[in-house]
Amino acid sequence: MISIPQTIRRLREARNLSTEEASKLIYVTRRTIELWEKGERVIPNAKLELYMAKLLNDYQTNKQLIVIVADDCNNIGVVPLDVISEDTFLSISEDGFGNAIIASMFVDRITRKPSVHRTKFSMSPHNLRAVEIANNWQIKIEMELLSNN
């Protein structure tokens, strides 16, 4: 499972924003963003929601981006698990037990080699729109493969 700090970093990186640029979106300092991404400071829920909303809204003018969430058992609400862009999406499948597995590409920051990341998540109401978008991406990929053959 990806943590909130990893999720907000991946979301920022998916938008190709520096920490300085991201900080200006929600009126905090660059250092605050860095501390949140390192997990050294907890991001307040209101700032997390604002940050994600601004990044997701702005991003949709260019490419789609989805956030997979987990229902938090501590009654905090939803917790982000993963961020996937249309450009990195590979596939989505269901396990038959109310869960889905989404696969996406990433480049390892140390080895610089491409790899596949898989996230298993509940198909709860919070994720239904993300599943719908991912299924559309999958259909688009399959149609492109068929047209190339």
Task: Please give the mean pLDDT across all residues of the chain.
Answer: 83
**Which token pair is 134?**
């991912």
Does the structure show a pLDDT above 60 at 149?
no
Q: Which of the listed CATH numbers 1.10.10.60, 1.10.260.40, 1.25.10.10, 3.40.50.620 matches domain 1-62?
A: 1.10.260.40
Three-class secondary structure of residue 146 per DSSP: helix
pLDDT of residue 64: 76
Cα separation of 45 and 50, whole Å?
9
Does the structure show a pLDDT above 90 at 28?
yes
Does the structure show a pLDDT above 50 at 59?
no
Over range 107-125, report the average pLDDT. 88
